[in-house]
Homo-oligomer: A and B are copies of this chain.
Amino acid sequence: MNRYTLKISCLDKPSIISKLTSAISDLKGNITDLDQYSDSQTKNFFFRMMFKLEESNIPKLLTTIEAIKAIFGMKISLYQENTKKRILILCSKQQHCLIHLLGKVKQGAIPVEISHILSNHTDCEAIAAYHNVPFHHLPIEKDNKREQEILIERVIDENKIDYIVLARYMQILSSEFCKKYEGQIINIHHSFLPGFKGANPYKQAHERGVKIIGATSHFVTEDLDEGPIICQETIRVNHHHSVQELTRFGSDIESVVLSRAVKHVAEDKVFIDGKKTVVFK
């Protein structure tokens, strides 16, 4: 038997779960993991099921699911295990998030295939080469921002990219780009959002004299630093720490938080629920 993951979202109605689980049971499959969540405010229903099934029974399952889908108006994704998500990484000068992510992927901890690394600088070229990932330099000037984005879009489209990961990419993406890939762009912001949005969050944190700093991974929307939050982490600091030291401390949690968010997304555990996310364990 093969292993599959089924991911579903729709408006909550009775008997969805029994229909979906019976579909597996009727085909002599076996459910190995199941998570569901009903948001009592948005009335959205989210469902993720892992199961084993004879490959020959997949067409029958799809037929059943199509029938269920018609009733409930679902968004459905079905993946065979080991189908890795294809990601594109955008970065600038700083390498720590990129290095951590590449290390985790190499370790086998995150089921993604890294298609390309694109950057407006060349600082990350060597580490890309070390990991045998194609690297393209797309320098950004005042006037070529949108043009370069269009090149990025081409790479995304030609390489069937599932998710775009911004590993400390220091350019603000256009509204067109954000809309086109809504729910597919994962950013790391170097603060504990919603505190310290925008530029220089460590400088802001230093000026405010906070005793804890944080990092936030979120989906990118048109509203800067306002997209649905996937993952956050915090770390204790004190009056001794300069902006530079906050930056270095923070780099550790930025790396971990971004890698963790990419892992959750790659494992199909993340759903967007309005302005928030549902992240299954």
Contact = CB atoms under 8 A, between A and B. Distances in A.
A240 B281 CA distance: 8
A252 B256 contact: yes
Most buried by B among A18, A210, A275: A18
A14 B238 CA distance: 24
A275 B207 contact: yes
Contacts of A248: 104, 107, 109
Given A14-B25, A18-B18, A96-B107, 16 more contacts: A14-B28, A14-B30, A17-B21, A19-B25, A22-B22, A32-B38, A34-B34, A37-B239, A126-B130, A192-B212, A193-B208, A193-B210, A211-B231, A212-B233, A214-B234, A239-B278
Interface of A: 14-15, 17-19, 21-22, 24-26, 28-40, 95-96, 99, 103-104, 107, 109, 126-127, 130, 192-196, 207-212, 214, 228-234, 236, 238-240, 242, 248, 251-252, 256, 273, 275-279, 281
